[in-house]
Structure 1
Amino acid sequence: MSDANHNANAQSNVHTLANKSLIIFDWDGTLMDSVGLIVESMHVAGEAHGFTTTDDAVKGIIGLSLTIGIDILYPNASQAQKDAICDSYADYYIANSHQTPFFDGIDTMLQTLRAQNKTLAVATGKKRRGLQRVLDATDAHHYFAITRCADESGSKPDPQMLSDILAHTGASVADAVFIGDSIYDIQMANRLGMSSIAVNYGTASAADLAGEQPTYQLDTPQALIEALTAA
Protein backbone atom coordinates (compact mmCIF):
# COMPACT_ATOMS: atom_id res chain seq x y z
CA MET A 1 0.00 0.00 0.00
CA SER A 2 1.37 3.42 -0.91
CA ASP A 3 1.87 6.05 1.81
CA ALA A 4 -0.90 8.15 0.26
CA ASN A 5 -3.36 5.27 0.24
CA HIS A 6 -2.42 4.28 3.79
CA ASN A 7 -3.00 7.82 5.02
CA ALA A 8 -6.33 8.10 3.19
CA ASN A 9 -7.45 4.75 4.60
CA ALA A 10 -6.49 5.80 8.11
CA GLN A 11 -8.36 9.06 7.92
CA SER A 12 -11.48 7.44 6.45
CA ASN A 13 -11.64 4.87 9.25
CA VAL A 14 -10.63 7.12 12.14
CA HIS A 15 -14.24 7.35 13.42
CA THR A 16 -13.60 4.03 15.20
CA LEU A 17 -11.43 5.98 17.65
CA ALA A 18 -14.63 7.11 19.36
CA ASN A 19 -14.76 3.65 20.95
CA LYS A 20 -11.37 4.06 22.66
CA SER A 21 -11.72 5.00 26.33
CA LEU A 22 -7.96 5.30 27.05
CA ILE A 23 -5.86 7.65 24.93
CA ILE A 24 -2.10 7.51 25.52
CA PHE A 25 0.18 10.20 24.12
CA ASP A 26 3.86 10.50 23.45
CA TRP A 27 5.03 13.98 24.48
CA ASP A 28 7.80 15.53 22.33
CA GLY A 29 6.73 16.04 18.74
CA THR A 30 3.21 14.78 19.46
CA LEU A 31 1.74 17.13 22.05
CA MET A 32 4.61 19.60 22.38
CA ASP A 33 6.42 21.43 19.60
CA SER A 34 9.84 20.63 21.00
CA VAL A 35 11.74 18.81 18.24
CA GLY A 36 13.64 21.93 17.15
CA LEU A 37 14.88 22.62 20.67
CA ILE A 38 15.87 18.98 21.18
CA VAL A 39 18.00 19.07 18.02
CA GLU A 40 19.57 22.41 18.96
CA SER A 41 20.29 21.25 22.51
CA MET A 42 22.01 18.08 21.32
CA HIS A 43 24.21 20.01 18.91
CA VAL A 44 25.23 22.45 21.64
CA ALA A 45 25.91 19.64 24.12
CA GLY A 46 27.89 17.45 21.74
CA GLU A 47 30.00 20.29 20.39
CA ALA A 48 30.80 21.48 23.91
CA HIS A 49 32.62 18.18 24.42
CA GLY A 50 34.21 17.85 20.98
CA PHE A 51 31.58 15.82 19.12
CA THR A 52 29.37 16.65 16.15
CA THR A 53 26.32 15.03 14.59
CA THR A 54 23.58 15.87 12.10
CA ASP A 55 20.00 17.10 12.47
CA ASP A 56 18.66 13.87 10.98
CA ALA A 57 20.72 11.74 13.37
CA VAL A 58 19.34 13.62 16.38
CA LYS A 59 15.78 13.34 15.09
CA GLY A 60 16.38 9.63 14.68
CA ILE A 61 16.95 9.10 18.41
CA ILE A 62 14.03 11.22 19.65
CA GLY A 63 11.68 8.91 21.50
CA LEU A 64 14.48 6.86 23.04
CA SER A 65 15.78 7.59 26.51
CA LEU A 66 18.44 10.31 26.51
CA THR A 67 21.24 7.99 27.62
CA ILE A 68 20.51 5.46 24.86
CA GLY A 69 20.24 8.28 22.32
CA ILE A 70 23.64 9.66 23.32
CA ASP A 71 25.14 6.16 23.08
CA ILE A 72 23.88 5.95 19.49
CA LEU A 73 24.95 9.45 18.46
CA TYR A 74 28.41 9.38 20.04
CA PRO A 75 29.61 5.75 20.11
CA ASN A 76 33.27 6.79 20.34
CA ALA A 77 32.79 8.95 23.42
CA SER A 78 33.92 7.67 26.80
CA GLN A 79 31.33 7.15 29.50
CA ALA A 80 32.55 10.29 31.26
CA GLN A 81 32.10 12.26 28.02
CA LYS A 82 28.63 10.81 27.49
CA ASP A 83 27.65 11.78 31.03
CA ALA A 84 28.96 15.30 30.41
CA ILE A 85 27.02 15.57 27.13
CA CYS A 86 23.89 14.46 28.97
CA ASP A 87 24.37 17.13 31.62
CA SER A 88 25.09 19.84 29.04
CA TYR A 89 22.03 18.83 27.05
CA ALA A 90 19.80 19.08 30.12
CA ASP A 91 21.25 22.46 31.10
CA TYR A 92 20.67 23.95 27.66
CA TYR A 93 17.22 22.45 27.20
CA ILE A 94 16.01 23.62 30.61
CA ALA A 95 17.34 27.14 30.04
CA ASN A 96 15.45 27.38 26.74
CA SER A 97 12.36 25.30 27.46
CA HIS A 98 10.13 28.38 27.23
CA GLN A 99 10.47 27.85 23.47
CA THR A 100 8.38 24.65 23.56
CA PRO A 101 4.63 25.26 23.56
CA PHE A 102 1.89 22.77 22.86
CA PHE A 103 1.03 22.52 19.17
CA ASP A 104 -1.89 24.79 18.30
CA GLY A 105 -5.17 23.44 19.62
CA ILE A 106 -3.70 20.66 21.75
CA ASP A 107 -4.61 22.21 25.09
CA THR A 108 -8.24 22.64 24.01
CA MET A 109 -8.24 19.08 22.67
CA LEU A 110 -7.15 17.71 26.04
CA GLN A 111 -9.90 19.69 27.76
CA THR A 112 -12.47 18.33 25.31
CA LEU A 113 -11.35 14.73 25.72
CA ARG A 114 -11.59 14.97 29.49
CA ALA A 115 -15.08 16.46 29.13
CA GLN A 116 -15.95 13.41 27.04
CA ASN A 117 -14.83 11.21 29.98
CA LYS A 118 -11.82 9.84 28.15
CA THR A 119 -8.93 8.65 30.30
CA LEU A 120 -5.68 10.28 29.17
CA ALA A 121 -2.10 9.17 29.80
CA VAL A 122 1.46 9.90 28.66
CA ALA A 123 4.26 7.49 27.74
CA THR A 124 7.45 9.40 26.97
CA GLY A 125 11.16 8.94 26.46
CA LYS A 126 11.74 11.84 28.85
CA LYS A 127 13.10 11.30 32.34
CA ARG A 128 10.63 11.88 35.17
CA ARG A 129 12.19 15.20 36.18
CA GLY A 130 12.02 16.43 32.58
CA LEU A 131 8.39 15.50 32.18
CA GLN A 132 7.56 17.01 35.56
CA ARG A 133 9.11 20.27 34.43
CA VAL A 134 7.05 20.54 31.23
CA LEU A 135 3.86 19.43 32.98
CA ASP A 136 4.41 22.24 35.46
CA ALA A 137 5.17 24.75 32.70
CA THR A 138 2.02 23.88 30.75
CA ASP A 139 -0.19 23.36 33.82
CA ALA A 140 -1.19 20.02 32.32
CA HIS A 141 -0.97 17.59 35.26
CA HIS A 142 -4.72 17.44 35.72
CA TYR A 143 -5.37 16.07 32.24
CA PHE A 144 -3.57 12.77 32.78
CA ALA A 145 -4.55 9.82 34.95
CA ILE A 146 -1.00 8.48 34.78
CA THR A 147 2.29 9.41 33.11
CA ARG A 148 5.21 7.05 32.57
CA CYS A 149 8.81 7.86 31.66
CA ALA A 150 11.79 6.01 30.23
CA ASP A 151 13.70 6.03 33.52
CA GLU A 152 10.76 4.31 35.25
CA SER A 153 9.69 1.65 32.74
CA GLY A 154 12.44 1.24 30.15
CA SER A 155 13.12 2.96 26.86
CA LYS A 156 10.88 2.60 23.82
CA PRO A 157 10.19 0.35 21.97
CA ASP A 158 9.99 -1.72 25.16
CA PRO A 159 6.21 -1.69 25.85
CA GLN A 160 6.51 -1.68 29.65
CA MET A 161 5.30 1.93 29.88
CA LEU A 162 2.09 0.97 28.10
CA SER A 163 1.67 -2.13 30.25
CA ASP A 164 2.06 0.00 33.39
CA ILE A 165 -0.60 2.41 32.15
CA LEU A 166 -3.02 -0.41 31.36
CA ALA A 167 -2.47 -1.92 34.81
CA HIS A 168 -3.00 1.43 36.54
CA THR A 169 -6.19 2.30 34.66
CA GLY A 170 -7.67 -1.19 34.48
CA ALA A 171 -8.13 -0.77 30.73
CA SER A 172 -7.55 -3.52 28.19
CA VAL A 173 -5.38 -3.26 25.10
CA ALA A 174 -8.56 -3.10 23.02
CA ASP A 175 -9.73 -0.05 25.00
CA ALA A 176 -6.60 1.97 24.22
CA VAL A 177 -4.85 3.85 21.44
CA PHE A 178 -1.29 5.18 21.53
CA ILE A 179 -0.26 8.28 19.59
CA GLY A 180 3.31 9.14 18.64
CA ASP A 181 5.61 10.67 16.06
CA SER A 182 8.58 8.27 16.05
CA ILE A 183 9.08 4.76 14.73
CA TYR A 184 9.80 3.66 18.31
CA ASP A 185 6.33 4.79 19.35
CA ILE A 186 4.64 2.64 16.73
CA GLN A 187 6.94 -0.31 17.41
CA MET A 188 6.06 -0.09 21.11
CA ALA A 189 2.32 -0.16 20.44
CA ASN A 190 2.69 -2.99 17.94
CA ARG A 191 4.50 -5.15 20.48
CA LEU A 192 1.34 -5.10 22.62
CA GLY A 193 -1.08 -5.29 19.71
CA MET A 194 -2.39 -1.84 20.67
CA SER A 195 -3.98 0.48 18.12
CA SER A 196 -1.72 3.38 17.19
CA ILE A 197 -1.82 6.73 15.47
CA ALA A 198 1.35 7.92 13.76
CA VAL A 199 1.54 11.70 13.38
CA ASN A 200 3.58 13.01 10.49
CA TYR A 201 4.39 16.43 11.96
CA GLY A 202 7.05 15.35 14.49
CA THR A 203 10.37 13.56 14.14
CA ALA A 204 9.98 10.76 11.61
CA SER A 205 9.02 10.99 7.95
CA ALA A 206 5.60 9.84 6.82
CA ALA A 207 7.25 7.05 4.81
CA ASP A 208 9.26 5.75 7.77
CA LEU A 209 6.17 5.81 10.00
CA ALA A 210 4.07 4.04 7.38
CA GLY A 211 6.73 1.33 7.25
CA GLU A 212 5.93 0.46 10.88
CA GLN A 213 2.26 -0.13 9.95
CA PRO A 214 0.44 2.12 12.40
CA THR A 215 -3.30 1.64 12.65
CA TYR A 216 -3.88 5.25 11.60
CA GLN A 217 -1.65 7.97 10.19
CA LEU A 218 -2.43 11.69 10.29
CA ASP A 219 -0.63 14.68 8.84
CA THR A 220 -1.29 17.61 11.17
CA PRO A 221 -2.17 18.46 14.76
CA GLN A 222 -5.56 19.66 13.52
CA ALA A 223 -6.25 16.30 11.87
CA LEU A 224 -5.38 14.57 15.14
CA ILE A 225 -7.64 16.91 17.12
CA GLU A 226 -10.54 16.31 14.75
CA ALA A 227 -10.06 12.54 14.80
CA LEU A 228 -9.91 12.24 18.59
CA THR A 229 -12.64 14.69 19.52
CA ALA A 230 -15.25 13.55 16.99
CA ALA A 231 -17.73 11.85 19.29
Structure 2
Amino acid sequence: MRPRQFDLIAFDWDGTLFDSTALIVRCIQAAVTDVGGRLPTDQAASYVIGMGLMQALAHAAPDVPPSQYPLLGERYRYHYQQHQNDISLFEGVLPLLAELKQRHHWLTVATGKSRQGLDTALRTVELHGVFDGSRTADETAGKPSPLMLHELMGEFGVDPARTLMIGDTTHDLQMALNAGCASVGVSYGAHEPGTFAEFSPLHVAHSVQELRDWLAANA
Protein backbone atom coordinates (compact mmCIF):
# COMPACT_ATOMS: atom_id res chain seq x y z
CA MET A 1 0.00 0.00 0.00
CA ARG A 2 1.38 3.42 -0.90
CA PRO A 3 2.40 5.74 1.93
CA ARG A 4 -0.24 8.26 2.89
CA GLN A 5 0.46 11.91 2.20
CA PHE A 6 -1.52 13.39 5.11
CA ASP A 7 -1.62 12.16 8.69
CA LEU A 8 -4.25 14.66 9.86
CA ILE A 9 -7.37 15.56 7.85
CA ALA A 10 -9.50 18.42 9.15
CA PHE A 11 -13.04 18.81 7.84
CA ASP A 12 -15.30 21.79 7.98
CA TRP A 13 -18.77 20.73 9.10
CA ASP A 14 -21.66 22.73 7.60
CA GLY A 15 -21.76 22.51 3.81
CA THR A 16 -18.86 20.03 3.70
CA LEU A 17 -20.06 17.02 5.67
CA PHE A 18 -23.48 18.22 6.81
CA ASP A 19 -26.16 19.30 4.33
CA SER A 20 -27.14 22.41 6.27
CA THR A 21 -26.29 25.39 4.05
CA ALA A 22 -29.85 26.20 2.97
CA LEU A 23 -31.15 25.96 6.52
CA ILE A 24 -28.41 28.22 7.89
CA VAL A 25 -29.16 30.83 5.22
CA ARG A 26 -32.87 30.81 6.14
CA CYS A 27 -32.10 31.04 9.86
CA ILE A 28 -29.72 33.98 9.39
CA GLN A 29 -32.33 35.80 7.32
CA ALA A 30 -35.10 35.12 9.85
CA ALA A 31 -32.95 36.24 12.79
CA VAL A 32 -31.97 39.51 11.12
CA THR A 33 -35.54 40.41 10.25
CA ASP A 34 -36.69 39.39 13.75
CA VAL A 35 -34.58 42.21 15.22
CA GLY A 36 -35.62 44.74 12.59
CA GLY A 37 -32.66 44.43 10.23
CA ARG A 38 -32.78 44.48 6.45
CA LEU A 39 -33.27 41.01 4.95
CA PRO A 40 -29.86 39.69 3.79
CA THR A 41 -29.75 38.23 0.31
CA ASP A 42 -29.11 34.51 -0.06
CA GLN A 43 -25.59 35.35 -1.25
CA ALA A 44 -24.86 37.60 1.72
CA ALA A 45 -26.18 35.04 4.19
CA SER A 46 -24.30 32.13 2.63
CA TYR A 47 -21.03 34.09 2.49
CA VAL A 48 -20.74 34.22 6.28
CA ILE A 49 -21.20 30.48 6.81
CA GLY A 50 -18.07 29.13 8.45
CA MET A 51 -17.38 32.21 10.55
CA GLY A 52 -18.10 32.23 14.26
CA LEU A 53 -21.79 32.89 14.90
CA MET A 54 -21.66 36.48 16.11
CA GLN A 55 -19.01 37.46 13.57
CA ALA A 56 -21.20 35.96 10.86
CA LEU A 57 -24.40 37.62 12.02
CA ALA A 58 -22.74 41.02 12.36
CA HIS A 59 -21.35 40.73 8.83
CA ALA A 60 -24.72 39.66 7.41
CA ALA A 61 -26.62 42.42 9.23
CA PRO A 62 -24.54 45.62 8.98
CA ASP A 63 -27.57 47.77 9.81
CA VAL A 64 -28.23 46.01 13.14
CA PRO A 65 -26.61 47.88 16.08
CA PRO A 66 -24.18 45.95 18.31
CA SER A 67 -26.57 46.34 21.23
CA GLN A 68 -28.90 43.96 19.37
CA TYR A 69 -26.28 41.26 18.77
CA PRO A 70 -27.20 39.13 21.81
CA LEU A 71 -30.83 39.06 20.68
CA LEU A 72 -29.73 38.41 17.11
CA GLY A 73 -27.78 35.35 18.29
CA GLU A 74 -30.73 34.14 20.35
CA ARG A 75 -33.09 34.40 17.38
CA TYR A 76 -30.67 32.55 15.11
CA ARG A 77 -30.34 29.70 17.62
CA TYR A 78 -34.12 29.59 18.05
CA HIS A 79 -34.78 29.20 14.33
CA TYR A 80 -31.96 26.66 13.85
CA GLN A 81 -33.12 24.50 16.75
CA GLN A 82 -36.60 24.26 15.28
CA HIS A 83 -35.25 22.43 12.22
CA GLN A 84 -31.88 20.95 13.12
CA ASN A 85 -33.26 17.41 13.03
CA ASP A 86 -34.46 17.95 9.45
CA ILE A 87 -30.91 17.90 8.08
CA SER A 88 -28.27 15.20 7.87
CA LEU A 89 -24.92 14.21 6.47
CA PHE A 90 -24.49 14.38 2.73
CA GLU A 91 -24.99 11.01 1.11
CA GLY A 92 -21.70 9.15 0.92
CA VAL A 93 -19.99 10.90 3.84
CA LEU A 94 -20.09 7.89 6.18
CA PRO A 95 -18.34 5.52 3.74
CA LEU A 96 -15.79 8.25 2.98
CA LEU A 97 -14.96 8.68 6.66
CA ALA A 98 -14.85 4.90 7.21
CA GLU A 99 -12.30 4.50 4.43
CA LEU A 100 -10.10 7.24 5.88
CA LYS A 101 -10.28 5.62 9.33
CA GLN A 102 -9.23 2.30 7.82
CA ARG A 103 -6.14 4.03 6.45
CA HIS A 104 -5.40 5.37 9.95
CA HIS A 105 -5.69 9.07 9.23
CA TRP A 106 -6.50 11.24 12.21
CA LEU A 107 -9.88 12.79 11.41
CA THR A 108 -10.85 16.10 12.94
CA VAL A 109 -13.44 18.86 12.62
CA ALA A 110 -12.62 22.58 12.40
CA THR A 111 -15.90 24.48 12.37
CA GLY A 112 -17.52 27.83 12.92
CA LYS A 113 -20.23 26.10 14.96
CA SER A 114 -20.34 26.32 18.74
CA ARG A 115 -19.15 23.42 20.86
CA GLN A 116 -22.72 22.71 21.92
CA GLY A 117 -23.90 22.86 18.31
CA LEU A 118 -21.22 20.49 17.05
CA ASP A 119 -21.71 18.01 19.88
CA THR A 120 -25.46 18.01 19.21
CA ALA A 121 -24.85 17.37 15.52
CA LEU A 122 -22.43 14.55 16.26
CA ARG A 123 -24.98 12.87 18.51
CA THR A 124 -27.74 13.37 15.94
CA VAL A 125 -25.86 11.65 13.15
CA GLU A 126 -24.37 8.95 15.38
CA LEU A 127 -20.73 9.74 14.71
CA HIS A 128 -19.32 8.96 18.13
CA GLY A 129 -15.76 7.71 17.81
CA VAL A 130 -15.31 8.68 14.17
CA PHE A 131 -13.49 11.95 14.84
CA ASP A 132 -10.31 12.04 16.86
CA GLY A 133 -10.51 15.74 17.69
CA SER A 134 -12.33 18.98 16.95
CA ARG A 135 -12.26 22.71 17.43
CA THR A 136 -15.20 25.12 17.38
CA ALA A 137 -15.39 28.88 16.97
CA ASP A 138 -16.45 29.56 20.57
CA GLU A 139 -13.44 27.79 22.13
CA THR A 140 -10.69 29.22 19.92
CA ALA A 141 -10.30 31.87 17.21
CA GLY A 142 -12.77 31.78 14.33
CA LYS A 143 -11.88 31.34 10.69
CA PRO A 144 -9.84 32.41 8.82
CA SER A 145 -7.48 32.58 11.79
CA PRO A 146 -5.20 29.53 11.65
CA LEU A 147 -5.51 28.90 15.39
CA MET A 148 -7.99 25.99 15.04
CA LEU A 149 -5.57 24.14 12.79
CA HIS A 150 -2.55 25.08 14.88
CA GLU A 151 -4.24 23.64 17.96
CA LEU A 152 -5.27 20.43 16.19
CA MET A 153 -1.80 19.96 14.72
CA GLY A 154 -0.30 20.53 18.16
CA GLU A 155 -2.69 18.06 19.77
CA PHE A 156 -1.65 15.27 17.40
CA GLY A 157 1.95 16.31 16.82
CA VAL A 158 1.48 16.73 13.07
CA ASP A 159 3.36 19.20 10.88
CA PRO A 160 1.52 21.52 8.45
CA ALA A 161 2.99 19.59 5.51
CA ARG A 162 1.16 16.47 6.75
CA THR A 163 -2.18 18.23 7.36
CA LEU A 164 -5.09 18.65 4.93
CA MET A 165 -8.07 20.99 5.40
CA ILE A 166 -11.29 20.26 3.51
CA GLY A 167 -14.03 22.89 3.31
CA ASP A 168 -16.71 24.59 1.25
CA THR A 169 -15.86 28.25 1.88
CA THR A 170 -13.07 30.71 1.23
CA HIS A 171 -12.81 31.05 5.02
CA ASP A 172 -11.77 27.39 5.24
CA LEU A 173 -9.25 27.67 2.45
CA GLN A 174 -7.80 30.93 3.81
CA MET A 175 -7.45 29.31 7.24
CA ALA A 176 -5.48 26.45 5.69
CA LEU A 177 -3.28 28.89 3.79
CA ASN A 178 -2.68 30.90 6.97
CA ALA A 179 -1.70 27.70 8.79
CA GLY A 180 0.65 26.54 6.06
CA CYS A 181 -1.52 23.53 5.26
CA ALA A 182 -2.81 22.08 2.01
CA SER A 183 -6.52 22.31 1.28
CA VAL A 184 -9.26 20.79 -0.83
CA GLY A 185 -12.42 22.72 -1.66
CA VAL A 186 -15.90 21.31 -2.21
CA SER A 187 -18.29 23.10 -4.55
CA TYR A 188 -21.58 21.78 -3.17
CA GLY A 189 -21.65 24.00 -0.05
CA ALA A 190 -21.93 27.70 0.71
CA HIS A 191 -19.42 29.44 -1.59
CA GLU A 192 -19.04 29.53 -5.34
CA PRO A 193 -16.03 27.42 -6.37
CA GLY A 194 -14.94 30.14 -8.78
CA THR A 195 -13.71 32.06 -5.71
CA PHE A 196 -11.39 29.26 -4.58
CA ALA A 197 -8.51 29.60 -7.04
CA GLU A 198 -6.62 32.36 -5.21
CA PHE A 199 -6.27 30.06 -2.19
CA SER A 200 -4.55 27.33 -4.26
CA PRO A 201 -6.50 24.23 -3.16
CA LEU A 202 -5.05 20.95 -4.37
CA HIS A 203 -8.44 20.01 -5.80
CA VAL A 204 -12.07 21.16 -5.92
CA ALA A 205 -14.55 18.29 -5.59
CA HIS A 206 -18.02 18.71 -7.06
CA SER A 207 -19.63 15.84 -5.14
CA VAL A 208 -18.95 13.69 -2.10
CA GLN A 209 -18.13 10.79 -4.40
CA GLU A 210 -15.55 12.89 -6.24
CA LEU A 211 -14.05 13.92 -2.91
CA ARG A 212 -13.95 10.28 -1.85
CA ASP A 213 -12.21 9.25 -5.06
CA TRP A 214 -9.66 12.06 -4.81
CA LEU A 215 -8.82 11.24 -1.19
CA ALA A 216 -8.47 7.53 -2.01
CA ALA A 217 -5.93 8.36 -4.69
CA ASN A 218 -4.11 11.29 -3.10
CA ALA A 219 -4.47 11.46 0.69
Q: TM-score, normalised by structure 2?
A: 0.94
1:135, CA displacement in angstroms? 0.7
Counterpart in 2 of 1:24?
10
2:81 matched to 1:94?
A: yes
Structure 1's consecutive aligned runs of 4 or more residues displaced over 4 angstroms after TM superposition are none
- 1:217 aligns with 204
Q: Deviations over 1:38-81 (max 9, x none)?
A: 01111111111212111000111011111001111222222332
- What is aligned with 1:38? 24
Percent identical = 33
Deviations 1:95-127 (A, max 9, x none): 201122111110111112112211100100111
Q: CA deviation at 1:17?
A: 9.5
C-alpha separation in 1, matches of 2:74 and 2:87: 19
Cα pair 1:18 1:228 within 8 Å, conserved: no
Q: Which of residues 104, 113, 119 is equivalent to 1:117?
A: 104
Partner of 2:168: 181
CA distances 1:163-198 after superposition (whole Å, capped 9, x unpaired) = 000011111111110000100111110012201001
Structure 1, unmatched stretches of 5+, are: 1-15
The Cα shift of 1:211 comes to 2.8
- Segments of structure 2 that go 5 or more residues without pairing to the other structure are none
Aligned residue in 2 for 1:48:
34
Q: 8 Å contact 1:21–1:175 — kept in the other structure? A: yes
- TM-superposed CA distance for 1:206, in Å, is 1.4
AA of the residue aligned to 1:37: L
Q: Deviation per CA, 1:7-47, whole angstroms, max 9, x where unpaired?
A: xxxxxxxxx99421211100000001100000111111111
Alignment of 1:92-171 (within 5 A): 92-171=79-158
Q: CA RMSD in A?
A: 1.6
Matched residues, number = 216
Contact 2:166/2:185, CA 8 A, preserved across alignment: yes
Alignment partner, residue 178 of structure 2: 191
User: Whose relative contact order is higher, 1 or 2, with alpha carbons under 8 Å and at least 6 apart?
Assistant: 1
Helix, strand or coil at the partner of 2:69? helix
Q: TM-score normalised to the size of structure 1?
A: 0.89
User: What is the alpha-carbon distance in structure 2 between the residues aligned to residue 76 and residue 19 of structure 1?
Assistant: 46
Question: Retained in 2: the 8 A contact 1:59–1:203?
Answer: yes
Hey, what's the Cα distance between the residues in 2 that align with 1:57 and 1:148? 25
- Structure 1: distance between partners of 2:161 and 2:121: 29
- The answer (yes or no) to whether the contact 1:17–1:228 under 8 Å persists in 2 is no
Amino acid at match of 2:197: A
Which AA in structure 1 matches 2:67?
A
The residue type equivalent to 1:29 in the other structure is: G
